[in-house]
A and B are shown apart, each in its own frame.
Chain A
Amino acid sequence: MSYGTTVRDDIGNEHPRKHLRLKERGELEVKLLQSDGEEKCAIEQKLRTQPVDDHPYEQALRKAREEEKSFLGEAEKRREACLSSIKDRDPRLRKWTCWLHESEARLDFYEPLVDMSYDFELAYQENRILARELPIVIALRRELLDELEEAKADLSSVGKEEQAAALNEFNEYRRQRKVSCAEEKEKIRQKHRQGLISSKALQNEQKRAERSAEEDILTKKRLLPLPKRRDRVRHIKHRLKVDIDSRWRVIHSDISDIRRKTPIEVKKRYPWLSMLTFPIPGLGQFLIGQRQKAFFFFLGTLFIYLAAIPYSLGVGNYRGKGIAGLISLAKDGKRLDRSIIFMIEGVIAVIFLVLAFLIIYMSYRDVRSTEKRMIAGIRKHNWFETRMVMRGKGFPYIVSAPAAILTIFIVLLPIAVTCLISFTNYDPTHQSKFSWTGLENYKAIFLGQGMAGGPFWRIMGWTVIWTLAATTLAIFIGFVLALLVNQDRIRGKKFFRTVYLLPWAVPAFITIMFFSIMFSPSGPLTTVLNQLLGNTDPSEMLNIKYTTWGTRIVLILLQGWLGSSYVFLLCTGILQGIPNDLYEAARIDGAQGFQQTRYITIPILLFQTAPLMIGQYTFNFNNFSIIYLFNGGGPFEPSKYGNLAGSSDLLISYIYKLTIQKQYQGIGSAITMIVSLLLIFITWMGFRRTKSFREEKL
């Protein structure tokens, strides 16, 4: 990499080099590229013999640096001298005033050095800003402090009598205002009695009278001496904080602006620091001089070397052996060693390692980019700038980081473990120790083999039918009810709305249990049904719970009713949000009653609810509770379903039976994986198709 004759700042502007030795080199290097033969040799010779430390510029620079050092070394002395001359008592004012003096001194010191190096120029510019802005901040704070003092004195000077008198006056005012309000209300009532205004107008007007009286009283109350002055003190305190902070932010961003526009010249040509320091995140930042940032990365280093790596090697595990345990799954282990523990701890170890890798990578990238930018001429970010970047671009990451880490352990860990279990023979005969079996479980499911895999396709079929039928029915019912109830002409809207929300408000559990009992073999509904059908012979008696399709149809109807509330609520909200003038426009355009519903209401409803409706489908796909509570997945048909499942079982309840009741965790996990992938795919497809809908707001 060549030095070149110019450096580039953060904005992209080129600046001529001020470092004369590097500039010479840069020029030579440029020439070298354009020349050949003898000339080339001469230039190479020159490059080799160019003095480094004895270069006149380097000497001058060194001298200037030494002067700078001794000048800065005296800063403390200057500060003390200054402090003794300040009359202000406020510590911040004292500090800032010293600061101001110091920056003025520095301004004078750096001024003659500006042309020598960009570092000096930057120092000069920074101090110029400080010298210009600090007086303003100091004056502002002084003024506010004085004001605060005065306001506080004012507040404490409120005598008891004064307050009492004002309070008396206020109470009197309040009494009068209440009386006048009552009179006003009485007048309105009279008008209503005479039939001049409607009851709605009566209500409105009374409310208005009350409100205005309340407001008047409150305003008066705020003007009492104590609250008023307290308010003032609070206001000044607030300004002391906010106004001054914002002034400081302006100063900082001014300085940052200068930093972005003043390039840096470094002798280094390759970003070697990032290569050397990548195993220890934070070290690179520390060496560059970004201490606060380094501190955070050092925390990462601690995590990597004290937690992640030892854990993955098996140190500090509960029972497992880190990564090794994940592979062995406690094979040939002690009697108490359980494969599942080994697996979980192995997964945790993997997650730790991934996090560690991420931290290392982030740190490496950070150091490398800072280094590369410095080589190009761009100054590193100071802490203020880093914070600004974090607040802007980094904000989403920072905010979501804790949640992300939690998510990893709450969501990702179980998913990963489930996924891994689906590749093992975790079943009733291998509870404590199981081993990897590859795709065996999936094979059994797809081919419908074995005890557990056998009924898979049957159950899948019913699950699909159930999902489509129950959800569509619920949506239909909810939709129609919402449309009906939100008609202008319907009376008693509140009543209907409440009734239709009941299935939602009452725990579904209760409703399902109720119907489950009603449809039991001797239950009232079964009896009524049989009487209606005229079945008296016990052998002919219809028994919902013993017939596959009987159970299925009742389930669908029940869910249609239960699910409709949600749809109803959703649609009602949207219907009420449709502006009335759309209907007015439609009336003028010639659309009547049903046409308005068809051309305006329904399209808008569909637009807005489509994604949520898809959510309803996925919800029913996994609607465990209704199946389990109504008939426990039954009726059971061992000839078709084996003895692990019933004919109204959904995949989800089947999984439940497999894993929790019958301990076929391996195959259960495999089905879970299939179901999840399927659902994710379908939801994604659905959302993708409705996304265009969603983005068009009303």
Chain B
Amino acid sequence: MRVQLVNIGKKYEGRENFTIRNIDLDIASRDFCVILGPSGCGKSTLLRMIAGLNSITEGDLLFDGKRMNKVEPKDRDIAMVFQSYALYPHMTVYDNMAFSLKMRKERKHVIHERVMEAAEVLQIKEYLYSKPSEISGGQRQRVALGRAMVRKPAVFLMDEPLSNLDAKLREHMRVELVRLHKSLDTTSIYVTHDQTEAMTMATKIVLLNDGIVQQVGAPSTFYEKPANLFVAGFIGSPTMNVFHGEMKNGIFHADGGIFTVEPRKEDADLLRPYEGKRVALGIRSERFIAGEQEKNGITVVVDVIEMLGKEQLLYCKFSNGEECVISEPGYYEYAIDETHHFHFDLEGLHFFDEETTLRIN
């Protein structure tokens, strides 16, 4: 089912400002859309509006072109996994999962089959007859997932469904969820603050902050072409290096005179209007090339080394105390307090307007 949000906004009763506003989104049928953002940015609010649990203050919500603003949740053909699980405490795990089908007067054996199927996938067969209070947090979360799964809804809403699982199980569930999404033929909308989840599962990411959409698109564009400084800083680990400076004669001069960069031709064209203005230069840690070069090079002192095996992260300092992170293959040998030379990979430079924080190139 195609889900469209047209200029949607929400102001909670008893609040002074809109929590989110001017949200325009088009989620195609069978998309796996991840709503990503830091805590408190309004992700759950948005999801709950789609579910029909929160009223929509302004704008339109369309399912397959039909306006859904006032339709009851049960008639929207959705299922939702709550951040707080919201399991029925007096029912067994089995009854919890069977409840929605029971409410729809589904045939008994179908209910049983579906519940067993879900329990199998989620590895909760042993706990089917326990009460929610008798199982662990991670197991509860899986039950909550199962409860939504058995419905086979047209839109599958999930609010941080994996946040309480351990790393291993989370990895496993990520794959399972994507598989489930494919097999159910549903549109999934998935809320998380974990960028790894977003990058690995999504076919489309919506990055929210301060109640507005920062960027929408495929995971790769987020990494390769962040739309503004916030996205650049939010996506990717380690965080992208950002240097502030000024354009002079087509050359980027970093503050404190620590280095200069001459952008490649395509970028230079786009940067021309910013001549003499303040600009931020972003570069990911892996886009530094070891070795000295007469142009576009930097000289830094290694401060801390984080060895990750395959690669190592060098936390370096410039002469004026400015810091940057550089990643190099694990077999290179570096030592703390050594001075090293690197230069920029011109293909991997991101330029942002400091005033508007928007991307230039």
- For residue A267, CB closer than 8 A to chain B, the reply is no
Report whether B13 and A581 are in contact in the complex, using a CB–CB cutoff of 8 Å: no
Report whether A698 and B103 are in contact in the complex, using a CB–CB cutoff of 8 Å: no
Q: Which residue of A lies closest to B134 (CB)?
A: A696
Q: Which residue of A lies closest to B103 (CB)?
A: A590
Least distance between B349 CB and chain A CB atoms (Å): 44
- For residue A198, CB closer than 8 A to chain B, the reply is yes
Report whether A588 and B15 are in contact in the complex, using a CB–CB cutoff of 8 Å: no
Q: Which residues from A are CB-within-8-Å of B51?
A: 588
Least distance between B279 CB and chain A CB atoms (Å): 37
Q: Which residues from A are CB-within-8-Å of B16?
A: 188, 191, 196-197, 201, 205
Interface string of B91-106 (1 = CB under 8 A from A): 1000000011001100
Could you say which of A9-17, A29-37, A42-50, A600-608 contacts chain B?
A600-608
Report whether B86 and A204 are in contact in the complex, using a CB–CB cutoff of 8 Å: no
- For residue A108, CB closer than 8 A to chain B, the reply is no
- For residue A403, CB closer than 8 A to chain B, the reply is no
Report whether B13 and A588 are in contact in the complex, using a CB–CB cutoff of 8 Å: no
B 60-115 contacts with A by CB, 8 A: 72-74, 78-80, 82, 84, 86-91, 99-100, 103-104
Question: How far is A472 from B120 in the complex, measured between Cα atoms in Å?
Answer: 45
Q: Which residues from B are CB-within-8-Å of A587?
A: 52-53, 72-74
Known: A579-B84, A584-B86, A588-B80. A200 touches B14 (CB 8 A): yes
Question: How far is A595 from B99 in the complex, measured between Cα atoms in Å?
Answer: 11
Q: Which of A579, A590, A604 contacts B74 (CB 8 A)?
A: A590
Report whether A589 and B90 are in contact in the complex, using a CB–CB cutoff of 8 Å: no
Q: Which residues from A are CB-within-8-Å of B52?
A: 587-588
Known: A587-B53, A589-B99, A696-B133. A582 touches B86 (CB 8 A): yes
Q: Which residues from A are CB-within-8-Å of B89?
A: 582, 604, 696, 698
- For residue A591, CB closer than 8 A to chain B, the reply is yes
A 568-587 contacts with B by CB, 8 A: 579, 581-582, 584-587
Question: How far is A600 from B102 in the complex, measured between Cα atoms in Å?
Answer: 14
Least distance between A209 CB and chain B CB atoms (Å): 11
Least distance between A89 CB and chain B CB atoms (Å): 50
Question: How far is A448 from B14 in the complex, measured between Cα atoms in Å?
Answer: 70
Report whether B14 and A581 are in contact in the complex, using a CB–CB cutoff of 8 Å: no
Q: Which residues from A are CB-within-8-Å of B174?
A: none
Report whether B13 and A198 are in contact in the complex, using a CB–CB cutoff of 8 Å: yes
Least distance between A205 CB and chain B CB atoms (Å): 5
- For residue B131, CB closer than 8 A to chain A, the reply is yes
Q: Which of B74, B78, B79, B82 contacts A581 (CB 8 A)?
A: B82
Question: How far is A698 from B53 in the complex, measured between Cα atoms in Å?
Answer: 23
Q: Which residues from A are CB-within-8-Å of B86?
A: 579, 581-582, 584-585
Question: How far is A584 from B103 in the complex, measured between Cα atoms in Å?
Answer: 14
Question: How far is A277 from B105 in the complex, measured between Cα atoms in Å?
Answer: 78
Least distance between A8 CB and chain B CB atoms (Å): 41
Q: Which residue of B lies closest to A589 (CB)?
A: B100
Question: How far is A697 from B90 in the complex, measured between Cα atoms in Å?
Answer: 9
Q: Which residues from B are CB-within-8-Å of A586?
A: 88, 99
Least distance between B9 CB and chain A CB atoms (Å): 14
Report whether B90 and A604 are in contact in the complex, using a CB–CB cutoff of 8 Å: yes
Known: A197-B16, A607-B90. A584 touches B99 (CB 8 A): no
Question: How far is A198 from B16 in the complex, measured between Cα atoms in Å?
Answer: 8
Report whether B14 and A204 are in contact in the complex, using a CB–CB cutoff of 8 Å: yes
- For residue A547, CB closer than 8 A to chain B, the reply is no
The secondary structure that dominates the A interface is helix
Q: Which residue of B lies closest to A198 (CB)?
A: B13
Question: How far is A696 from B78 in the complex, measured between Cα atoms in Å?
Answer: 31
Q: Which of A200, A588, A592, A599 contacts B78 (CB 8 A)?
A: A588
Report whether A581 and B84 are in contact in the complex, using a CB–CB cutoff of 8 Å: yes
Known: A188-B16, A204-B14. A585 touches B88 (CB 8 A): yes
Question: How far is A191 from B104 in the complex, measured between Cα atoms in Å?
Answer: 47
Report whether B103 and A589 are in contact in the complex, using a CB–CB cutoff of 8 Å: yes
Interface string of A652-682 (1 = CB under 8 A from B): 0000000000000000000000000000000
- Number of A positions contacting B (CB below 8 A): 31
B 130-144 contacts with A by CB, 8 A: 131, 133-134
Least distance between B234 CB and chain A CB atoms (Å): 28
Q: Which residue of B lies closest to A580 (CB)?
A: B86
A 168-206 contacts with B by CB, 8 A: 188, 191, 196-198, 200-201, 203-205
Q: Which residue of A lies closest to B12 (CB)?
A: A201
Q: Which residue of B lies closest to A608 (CB)?
A: B90
Question: How far is A590 from B90 in the complex, measured between Cα atoms in Å?
Answer: 18
Report whether A588 and B88 are in contact in the complex, using a CB–CB cutoff of 8 Å: no
Report whether B90 and A595 are in contact in the complex, using a CB–CB cutoff of 8 Å: no
Least distance between A694 CB and chain B CB atoms (Å): 12
Q: Which residues from B are CB-within-8-Å of A592?
A: 72, 74
Q: Which residue of B lies closest to A698 (CB)?
A: B89
Report whether B74 and A201 are in contact in the complex, using a CB–CB cutoff of 8 Å: no
Question: How far is A589 from B74 in the complex, measured between Cα atoms in Å?
Answer: 6
Question: How far is A603 from B95 in the complex, measured between Cα atoms in Å?
Answer: 13
Q: Which residues from B are CB-within-8-Å of A200?
A: 13-14
Report whether A584 and B53 are in contact in the complex, using a CB–CB cutoff of 8 Å: yes
Least distance between A586 CB and chain B CB atoms (Å): 8
Least distance between A288 CB and chain B CB atoms (Å): 49
Known: A579-B84, A698-B89. A201 touches B73 (CB 8 A): no
Question: How far is A585 from B151 in the complex, measured between Cα atoms in Å?
Answer: 13
Report whether B15 and A585 are in contact in the complex, using a CB–CB cutoff of 8 Å: no
Known: A200-B13, A595-B103. A603 touches B90 (CB 8 A): yes
Q: Which residues from B are CB-within-8-Å of A607?
A: 90
Q: Which residues from A are CB-within-8-Å of B14?
A: 198, 200-201, 203-204
Q: Which of B79, B87, B131, B133 contacts A588 (CB 8 A)?
A: B79
Question: How far is A587 from B90 in the complex, measured between Cα atoms in Å?
Answer: 17
Q: Which of B73, B80, B88 contacts A600 (CB 8 A)?
A: B88
Question: How far is A205 from B14 in the complex, measured between Cα atoms in Å?
Answer: 8
Q: Which residue of A lies closest to B83 (CB)?
A: A581
Q: Which residue of B lies closest to A199 (CB)?
A: B14
Q: Which residues from B are CB-within-8-Å of A599?
A: 88, 99
Q: Which of B87, B88, B100, B134 contacts A590 (CB 8 A)?
A: B100
Q: Which residue of B lies closest to A581 (CB)?
A: B86
Q: Which of A191, A196, A585, A595 contacts B82 (CB 8 A)?
A: A585
Q: Which residues from B are CB-within-8-Å of A205?
A: 16
Interface string of B213-257 (1 = CB under 8 A from A): 000000000000000000000000000000000000000000000
Question: How far is A201 from B13 in the complex, measured between Cα atoms in Å?
Answer: 7
Question: How far is A589 from B52 in the complex, measured between Cα atoms in Å?
Answer: 12
Q: Which of A188, A590, A591, A697 contacts B133 (CB 8 A)?
A: A697
Q: Which residue of A lies closest to B75 (CB)?
A: A590
Question: How far is A205 from B134 in the complex, measured between Cα atoms in Å?
Answer: 41
Q: Which residues from A are CB-within-8-Å of B131?
A: 696
Report whether B74 and A698 are in contact in the complex, using a CB–CB cutoff of 8 Å: no
Question: How far is A643 from B89 in the complex, measured between Cα atoms in Å?
Answer: 56
Q: Which residues from B are CB-within-8-Å of A585?
A: 80, 82, 86-88, 147
Q: Which residues from A are CB-within-8-Å of B99?
A: 586, 589, 591, 599
Interface string of B292-320 (1 = CB under 8 A from A): 00000000000000000000000000000
Question: How far is A607 from B88 in the complex, measured between Cα atoms in Å?
Answer: 13
**Which of A200, A582, A595 has the most chain B CB within a 10 Å cutoff?**
A582
Least distance between A253 CB and chain B CB atoms (Å): 34
Question: How far is A604 from B133 in the complex, measured between Cα atoms in Å?
Answer: 13
Question: How far is A591 from B16 in the complex, measured between Cα atoms in Å?
Answer: 33
Least distance between B73 CB and chain A CB atoms (Å): 5
Q: Which residues from A are CB-within-8-Å of B147?
A: 585, 589
Report whether A590 and B104 are in contact in the complex, using a CB–CB cutoff of 8 Å: yes
Q: Which residues from A are CB-within-8-Å of B74?
A: 587-592
Q: Which residues from B are CB-within-8-Å of A603?
A: 90-91
Q: What are 17 A-B contacts defined by CB distance under 8 Å?
A: A191-B16, A204-B14, A204-B15, A205-B16, A581-B84, A582-B88, A584-B82, A585-B80, A587-B73, A588-B78, A589-B74, A589-B151, A590-B100, A592-B74, A600-B90, A607-B90, A697-B133
By Cβ-Cβ distance, the 5 closest A-B pairs, closest first, are A589-B100, A581-B86, A590-B103, A200-B14, A585-B86
Extra pairs beyond A581-B82, A585-B86, A592-B72 (4, CB < 8 Å)? A581-B84, A588-B78, A590-B100, A697-B133
